[in-house]
Amino acid sequence: MYAGIETGGTKTVCAVGSEGRVFARVQFPTGTDPESLADQCAEFFADHPVTALGLGTFGPCDPDPDSPTYGHILQTPKPGWTGADLLGLLSARIAVPMAMTTDVNAAALGELRYGAGRGLHSLVYITIGTGIGGGAIIRGRLLQAGQHPEMGHMLLPQSTGPGVCPYHRNCWEGLASGPGMQARSGVPAQDIADDDPAWILEAQIVATALHNITCILGPQRIIIGGGLGSRKALHEHLPALLDESLAGYLPSPSLRVPELGGDAGVVGALTLAQDHRPG
Helix spans in the chain (H): 34-46, 86-91, 103-114, 172-176, 178-185, 198-217, 232-235, 238-246, 264-275
**C-alpha pair distances (Å), 149 with each of 59, 67, 92, 145, 217:** 10, 16, 28, 8, 12
For residue 232, which amino acid is it? K
Q: Is 238 in the site for a second copy (CB under 8 A)?
A: no
| Among positions 91, 130, 147, 182, the unique one binding a second copy when judged by CB under 8 A | 147
φ/ψ of residue 118, rounded to 5: -55, 135
Q: Which of 29, 49, 83, 157 binds a second copy (CB under 8 A)?
A: 157
Judged by beta carbon, residue 142 or residue 267, the one nearer a second copy is 142
DSSP structural state of residue 190: G
Does 174 sit near a second copy (CB under 8 A)?
Answer: no
Answer yes or no whether residue 122 interacts with a second copy by CB under 8 A.
yes
Which of 4, 34, 134, 226 contacts a second copy by CB under 8 A? Answer: 134
Among 245, 264, 265, 267, binds a second copy (CB under 8 A): 245
Query: Residue 226 or residue 253: which is nearer to a second copy going by CB?
Result: 253
CA-CA distance, 160 to 262, in Å (whole number)? 30
Count residues near a second copy (CB under 8 A): 43
Question: For binding to a second copy (CB under 8 A), which residues are involved?
Answer: 121-122, 134, 138-139, 141, 143-157, 159, 167-168, 170, 208, 211-213, 215-220, 245-251, 253
